[in-house]
Amino acid sequence: MAAIAWSREFEIGVPEIDAQHQHLVEIVNRFEEARARGKATRVLGEILKELIGYTQEHFAFEEGYMHKVEYSGLKLHQAKHRQLIAKVERFQFDFDQGRRISIEIHDFLKYWLLNHIQEDDKAITTAGEPAATPA
């Protein structure tokens, strides 16, 4: 499965958040590459753990940002984050059971890039709220 390339289209205009999004893409691509090269389960498990940890960290940051700029869609956005976290935790569970999760992870990234970032995350900066990092 081909690696997903980062594009400027995915940027929402908040430098920290854009950098974090890019890092998440990099982790998922690294997982896929390791799987394609037949890396050991232990290596894949470590990358997966990194993905889960970083996703949680990133969502916490993004929610903190929405809170600071008093974004009106915070509650709904938080609920979407919880669903995405549940998804990555599910990957961990399936992976631990020895199931193949590569396609699911790829689909997760695609959904997250094309839907969540481009619609939900972009809405944070286009909803009339200040796009710059608040003081």
Residues lying near Fe ion in the complex (CB under 5 A): 62, 121
Nearest distance from residue 23's CB to Fe ion, in Å? 14
Nearest distance from residue 121's CB to Fe ion, in Å? 5
125: number of Cβ within 10 Å? 19
Residue number of the CB closest to Fe ion reads 121
Q: Which two tokens stand for residue 122?
A: 């972009």
Residue closer to Fe ion (CB basis): 32 or 121:
121
Residue closer to Fe ion (CB basis): 11 or 121:
121
Nearest to 21 by CA among 122, 131, 133, 107: 122
| Rg, C-alpha atoms of the chain | 15
Nearest distance from residue 2's CB to Fe ion, in Å? 24
Please state, in angstroms and rounded to a whole number, the distance separating the CA atoms of residues 119 and 128.
15
